[in-house]
C-alpha cells in the first residue's frame, strides 16, 4: 500500500512540474503573441487547484477515500487525453484546468492516507519519502520530454526505432512532438486508475489539524492579521517556485540562445533535483539552526542566485537558475510550520487557508509574464525578488507561540 502511495506521488509530480520546458514549444506552436498568453497555462492549473482544495475535503467526508482517489486520477486522465487528441490552445487551457482539479483532489486525500497506512509513528519518514519521490519525478519528466523530442524530431525520425516510439510517431503531430508527452501521461494515469480500482484502502480518521473546521473558526481566523501575513508568505513561495521554474527555460533561450528542448529542459530538471536534495539537507539543518534564521539565510541566498542568473553570463545562469531550487527548498515547510505555531487554536482551518494560498502558482507566473510583455522577461523575473524578499522578511517578524526550533517533523513537506 505504501509503494502504491509513492507511485501516486510520483505520477502527480511527473505531470504537474513539466510546464517550464513546454512553455517555449507552446509559444512557438500556437503562435502566441506574448508571454501572458503562455502564462494562462499555469494560471488555469493552479486556479483549479485552489478552487478544488476545500471541496475535495468535503467529498472525502461524503463519499470516502477510494472514490475521491479514483476521481482524482480520472480528471487528469480526461484532461490529458483531450489535449492529446485535440491539440489547440483553448483545449490546452481546458486540459490544464481539468488536470488541476484532479491533482487537488489527490493531494487532499493522500496526505492523511499515508499517515493512516504508515502509522503515526512513521509519518515523518513517510512524508520525507513522499517528498523524495515527488522530487525524483520532477527531475525525470523534463529528461523524458527531451528524449521524446529527440526521438520524434521530424528531421531525424525513421520508423523501426521501437514499437512505442513508432506508435507515438503515428498519433502525434509531426510539428508538435512534445504532444507525445500527453500520451505518456495518459498511459501513466490509466495504470493508476486500474491500481486504484483493484485496491482496498483503509478508512481515514482525520486528525484535528487535518479537519476543515467550522465556519466560525474560519471567521475567527480571518480577523487575525497574522493569518493574512502567512497566507501571503505561502502565496509568495509558490509564486517564486513556479515563476522561476516555468520561465527559466524561456529566459535561457531568449538571452543566451540555449536550446529549450535540450539544455533548457535539463536546467529545469536540475532545478527540481536540487530542490529534492535541499529538502533532505534541510531536515538536518533544522535540527542545528533556528528555523527563522534558516529562512533568512535561504532568502538572502535565493536573492543572490536570482540576480546572478538574471544578469550573469550563460555559464553562470545555467548554474544559478537550478541552484535556486536548492535555496528555496526549505521555505515552504518553515513558513507553514511558523504559521501553525503562531496560532493557539483552529489549526485545521488555518492549514486549509494556507493550502489555498497555492493559488500563488497562478498569480506569480501571470505577474511575471504580464510585466515581461510590458518591458522584458528579465524585468518580469526581477519581480520574483519581491516575493523572495517578503518570505525573507517573515524570518525576522514571525513570533511563534512555541520555540520554533521544535518545528514538528510531521508538518514538514506534508503539503508538497
Domains in the chain, CATH or no CATH each: 1-210 (1.20.1250.20), 212-401 (1.20.1250.20)
- pLDDT for position 411: 47
Half-sphere exposure of 309 (CA within 13 A, CB side): 32
**Angle in degrees, CA 274, 279, 280, rounded to 5:** 100
Backbone angles phi, psi at 36, to 5 degrees: -60, -35
The pLDDT, as a whole number, for residue 377 is 95
- Quickly list DSSP for 16-41: HT-HHHHHHHHHHHTT-SSHHHHHHH
Residue 169, C-alpha cell as written in the block: 510517431
- Which DSSP string do the residues of 205-256 spell out, in sequence order? ---GGGS---HHHHHHHHT-HHHHHHHHHHHHHHHHHHHHHHHHHHHHHHHH
Give residue-wise pLDDT tens across range 186-235: 999 999 999 999 988 887 666 655 555 566 777 777 778 888 888 999 99
What's the whole-model pTM score?
A: 0.84
Report whether 400 contacts 341 (CB < 8 A).
Answer: yes
Q: What is the pLDDT of residue 120?
A: 64
User: Tens of pLDDT along the chain (416 residues)?
Assistant: 889 999 999 999 999 888 888 988 999 999 988 888 888 898 898 888 778 877 877 787 788 888 989 999 999 999 999 999 999 999 999 999 999 999 988 887 887 788 778 776 676 677 767 878 888 999 999 999 999 998 988 888 888 878 889 999 999 998 899 999 999 999 999 999 999 999 888 876 666 555 555 667 777 777 788 888 889 999 999 999 999 999 999 999 999 999 998 999 999 999 999 998 998 888 788 788 888 899 999 999 999 999 999 999 999 999 999 999 999 998 988 888 788 777 666 666 777 777 778 888 889 999 999 999 999 999 999 999 999 999 999 988 876 554 444 344 444 444 44
Which of 81, 106, 77 minimizes the C-alpha distance to 91? 81
Which residues, including other chains, have CB under 8 Å from residue 285's CB and lie 6 or more apart? Answer: 294, 330
SS3 call for 383: coil
pLDDT at 290: 84
**The pLDDT value given to residue 115:** 74
What pLDDT does 344 receive? 67
Q: What is the pLDDT of residues 368-399, one digit of tens each?
A: 999 999 999 999 999 999 999 999 999 888 76
Residue 347 confidence (pLDDT)? 64
pLDDT of residue 410: 43
Average predicted confidence (pLDDT) for the chain: 86
Is-contact 269 139, C-beta < 8 A? yes
pLDDT for 406 equals: 39
CA 234 to chain centre: 13
Amino acid at each position: 500500500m505504501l509503494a502504491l502511495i509513492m507511485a501516486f506521488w510520483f505520477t502527480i509530480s511527473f505531470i504537474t512540474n513539466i510546464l517550464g520546458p513546454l512553455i517555449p514549444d507552446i509559444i512557438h506552436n500556437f503562435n502566441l503573441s506574448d508571454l501572458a498568453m503562455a502564462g494562462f497555462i499555469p494560471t488555469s492549473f493552479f486556479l483549479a487547484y485552489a478552487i478544488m482544495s476545500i471541496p475535495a475535503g468535503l467529498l472525502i467526508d461524503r463519499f470516502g477515500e477510494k472514490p475521491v482517489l479514483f476521481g482524482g486520477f480520472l480528471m487528469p486522465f480526461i484532461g490529458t487525453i483531450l489535449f492529446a487528441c485535440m491539440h489547440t490552445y483553448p483545449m490546452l487551457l481546458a486540459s490544464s484546468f481539468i488536470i488541476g482539479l484532479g491533482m487537488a483532489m489527490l493531494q487532499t486525500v493522500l496526505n492523511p492516507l499515508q499517515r493512516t497506512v504508515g502509522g503515526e509513528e512513521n509519518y515523518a519518514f513517510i512524508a520525507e519519502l513522499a517528498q523524495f519521490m515527488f522530487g525524483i519525478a520532477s527531475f525525470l519528466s523534463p529528461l523524458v520530454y527531451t528524449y521524446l523530442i529527440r526521438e520524434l524530431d521530424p528531421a531525424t525520425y525513421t520508423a523501426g526505432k521501437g514499437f512505442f516510439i513508432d506508435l507515438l510517431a503515428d498519433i502525434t503531430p509531426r510539428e508538435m512532438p512534445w504532444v507525445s508527452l500527453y500520451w505518456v501521461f495518459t498511459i501513466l494515469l490509466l495504470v493508476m486508475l486500474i491500481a486504484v480500482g483493484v485496491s482496498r484502502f483503509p478508512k481515514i480518521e482525520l486528525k484535528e489539524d487535518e479537519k476543515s473546521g467550522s465556519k466560525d473558526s474560519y471567521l475567527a481566523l480571518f480577523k487575525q492579521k497574522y493569518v493574512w501575513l502567512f497566507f501571503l508568505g505561502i502565496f509568495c513561495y509558490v509564486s517564486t517556485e513556479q515563476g522561476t521554474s516555468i520561465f527559466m527555460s524561456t529566459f535561457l533561450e531568449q538571452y543566451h540562445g540555449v536550446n529549450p528542448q535540450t539544455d533548457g529542459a535539463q536546467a529545469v530538471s536540475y532545478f527540481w533535483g536540487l530542490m529534492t536534495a535541499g529538502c533532505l539537507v534541510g531536515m538536518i539543518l533544522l535540527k542545528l539552526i533556528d528555523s527563522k534564521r534558516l529562512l533568512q539565510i535561504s532568502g538572502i541566498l535565493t536573492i543572490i542566485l536570482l540576480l546572478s542568473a538574471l544578469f550573469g553570463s550563460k555559464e553562470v545562469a545555467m548554474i544559478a537558475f537550478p541552484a535556486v531550487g536548492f535555496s528555496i527548498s526549505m521555505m515552504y515547510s518553515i513558513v507553514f510550520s511558523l504559521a501553525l505555531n503562531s496560532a493557539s487554536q483552529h489549526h485545521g482551518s488555518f492549514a486549509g487557508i494556507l493550502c489555498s494560498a497555492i493559488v500563488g502558482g497562478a498569480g506569480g507566473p501571470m505577474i511575471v509574464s504580464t510585466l515581461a510583455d510590458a518591458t522584458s522577461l528579465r524585468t518580469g523575473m526581477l519581480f520574483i525578488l519581491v516575493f523572495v524578499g517578503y518570505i525573507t522578511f517573515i524570518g525576522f517578524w514571525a513570533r511563534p507561540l512555541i520555540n520554533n526550533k521544535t518545528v514538528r517533523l510531521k508538518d514538514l513537506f506534508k503539503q508538497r
